[in-house]
A and B are shown apart, each in its own frame.
Chain A
Amino acid sequence: MMLLRLEPRAEASRRARVLAPFLAAALTLVCGGVLFAGLGYDPLVAFHAFFIKPVSSLYGLGEVALKASPLLLIALGLAVGFRANVWNIGAEGQLTMGAIAGGGVALACPQGDAVWLLPAMILAGALGGGAWAAIPAYLRTRCNASEILTSLMLSYVALLVLSYLVHGPWRDPQGFNFPQSRQFEDAALLPILVEGTRVNLGCVLPLAALAAVWLLLERSFIGFQIKVLGLAPGAARYAGFKETRLVWLSLLLGGAFAGIAGSAEVAGPIGQLLPRISPGYGFTAIIVAFLGQLHPLGILAASLLVALIYLGGESVQLSLGLPPAVAGVFQGMLLFFLLGCDVLVRYRVRFGKSRVTAPTP
Chain B
Amino acid sequence: MNELDLAAAVLAATLRAGTPLVLASLGELVSEKSGVLNLGVEGMMLTGAVAGFIAAAASGSTALGIAAALLAGAALALLFAVLTLTLQANQVATGLALSIFGTGLSAFVGRGYVDATIAGLPPLAIPGLARLPLIGSILFDQDILVYVSVGAVAAVHLFLSRSRAGLVLRAAGEAPEAAHALGYPVIRLRYLAVLFGGAMSGLAGAYLSLAYTPMWTENMSAGRGWIALALVVFATWKPLRALLGAYLFGGLTILQLNIQGEGFALPPDLLATLPYLATVAVLALISRDVRRIRLNAPAALGKPFRPPA
Contact partner of A332 (CB less than 8 A), chosen from B100, B227, B233, B306, is B100
* CB atoms of B273 and A148 under 8 A apart: no
Main SS class of interface, A:
helix
* CB atoms of A164 and B269 under 8 A apart: yes
Contact partner of A150 (CB less than 8 A), chosen from B111, B270, B284, is B284
Given contacts A146-B233, A149-B283, A287-B100, contact A339 B89 (CB under 8 A): yes
* CB atoms of B280 and A154 under 8 A apart: yes
Q: Select from chain A the residue with minimum beta-carbon distance to B108.
A: A325
Residues on B with C-beta less than 8 A from A100 are: none
Instruction: Tell me, in angstroms, the Cα distance from A82 to B274 when the chains sit together.
Output: 29
* CB atoms of A325 and B267 under 8 A apart: no
Instruction: Tell me, in angstroms, the Cα distance from A164 to B98 when the chains sit together.
Output: 30
* CB atoms of B269 and A161 under 8 A apart: yes
* CB atoms of B283 and A325 under 8 A apart: no
Contact with B along A286-301 (1 / 0, CB 8 A): 1100100000000000
* CB atoms of A144 and B226 under 8 A apart: no
Instruction: Tell me, in angstroms, the Cα distance from A172 to B105 when the chains sit together.
Output: 36
The residue among A135, A327, A335, A356 with the most chain B CB atoms within 10 A of its own CB is A335
* CB atoms of A347 and B273 under 8 A apart: no
Q: Select from chain A the residue with minimum beta-carbon distance to B227.
A: A153
* CB atoms of A144 and B279 under 8 A apart: no
* CB atoms of A161 and B273 under 8 A apart: yes
Give chain A nearest CB distance to B177 CB in angstroms.
Answer: 16
Is A198 part of the binding interface, using a Cβ–Cβ cutoff of 8 Å?
no
* CB atoms of B101 and A153 under 8 A apart: no
* CB atoms of B100 and A139 under 8 A apart: no
* CB atoms of A283 and B100 under 8 A apart: yes
* CB atoms of A139 and B280 under 8 A apart: yes
Residues on B with C-beta less than 8 A from A163 are: 269
Give chain B nearest CB distance to A155 CB in angstroms.
Answer: 8
Is A6 part of the binding interface, using a Cβ–Cβ cutoff of 8 Å?
yes
Is A87 part of the binding interface, using a Cβ–Cβ cutoff of 8 Å?
yes
Those of A127-176 within 8 Å (CB) of chain B: 135, 139, 143-146, 148-150, 152-154, 156-157, 160-161, 163-164, 167-168
Those of A315-349 within 8 Å (CB) of chain B: 323, 325-329, 331-333, 335-336, 339-340, 342-343, 346-347
* CB atoms of A167 and B269 under 8 A apart: yes
Selecting from B115-123, B164-172, B286-294, the interface stretch reads: B286-294
Residues on A with C-beta less than 8 A from B87 are: 6, 339-340, 343
Q: Select from chain B the residue with minimum beta-carbon distance to A333.
A: B101
Contact with B along A346-358 (1 / 0, CB 8 A): 1100000010100
Is B24 part of the binding interface, using a Cβ–Cβ cutoff of 8 Å?
no
Those of B91-112 within 8 Å (CB) of chain A: 92-94, 96-98, 100-105, 107-108, 111
* CB atoms of B283 and A150 under 8 A apart: yes
Give chain A nearest CB distance to B275 CB in angstroms.
Answer: 9
Instruction: Tell me, in angstroms, the Cα distance from A139 to B288 when the chains sit together.
Output: 9
Residues on B with C-beta less than 8 A from A347 are: 88
Q: Select from chain B the residue with minimum beta-carbon distance to A342.
A: B89
Give chain B nearest CB distance to A119 CB in angstroms.
Answer: 30
Give chain B nearest CB distance to A152 CB in angstroms.
Answer: 5
Given contacts A326-B108, A329-B105, contact A287 B97 (CB under 8 A): yes
* CB atoms of A146 and B287 under 8 A apart: yes
Is A89 part of the binding interface, using a Cβ–Cβ cutoff of 8 Å?
yes
Give chain B nearest CB distance to A312 CB in angstroms.
Answer: 14
* CB atoms of A160 and B97 under 8 A apart: no
Q: Select from chain B the residue with minimum beta-carbon distance to A139.
A: B284
Is B154 part of the binding interface, using a Cβ–Cβ cutoff of 8 Å?
no
Residues on B with C-beta less than 8 A from A160 are: 269-270, 272-273, 276
* CB atoms of B284 and A143 under 8 A apart: yes
Is B79 part of the binding interface, using a Cβ–Cβ cutoff of 8 Å?
yes
Q: Select from chain A the residue with minimum beta-carbon distance to B42.
A: A152
Give chain A nearest CB distance to B182 CB in angstroms.
Answer: 20
Given contacts A286-B100, A290-B93, A328-B107, contact A164 B267 (CB under 8 A): yes
* CB atoms of A323 and B270 under 8 A apart: no
Contact with A along B224-244 (1 / 0, CB 8 A): 001101100100000000000
Given contacts A143-B288, A146-B287, A153-B230, contact A339 B83 (CB under 8 A): yes
Q: Select from chain A the residue with minimum beta-carbon distance to B232.
A: A149
Give chain A nearest CB distance to B141 CB in angstroms.
Answer: 32
Instruction: Tell me, in angstroms, the Cα distance from A149 to B230 when the chains sit together.
Output: 7
* CB atoms of A148 and B284 under 8 A apart: no
Contact with A along B65-100 (1 / 0, CB 8 A): 000000000000001000100011110111011101
* CB atoms of B79 and A148 under 8 A apart: no
Is B1 part of the binding interface, using a Cβ–Cβ cutoff of 8 Å?
no
The residue among A152, A156, A333 with the most chain B CB atoms within 10 A of its own CB is A152
Residues on B with C-beta less than 8 A from A323 are: 107-108, 111
Is B277 part of the binding interface, using a Cβ–Cβ cutoff of 8 Å?
yes
Residues on A with C-beta less than 8 A from B283 are: 139, 143, 145-146, 149-150
A-B contact pairs, 20 of them (CB 8 A): A6-B88, A87-B92, A144-B290, A146-B283, A149-B233, A152-B226, A160-B273, A163-B269, A164-B267, A287-B97, A325-B104, A325-B111, A325-B218, A326-B108, A329-B108, A332-B100, A336-B101, A339-B89, A339-B90, A340-B87
User: Told that A139-B280, A332-B97 touch, could you supply 6 new A-B pairs with CB distance under 8 A?
Assistant: A139-B284, A145-B283, A156-B273, A335-B93, A336-B79, A339-B94
Interface residues of A (CB under 8 A from B): 5-6, 8, 87, 89, 135, 139, 143-146, 148-150, 152-154, 156-157, 160-161, 163-164, 167-168, 283-284, 286-287, 290, 323, 325-329, 331-333, 335-336, 339-340, 342-343, 346-347, 354, 356
* 5 closest Cβ pairs, A-B complex: A328-B104, A332-B101, A164-B269, A325-B107, A325-B108
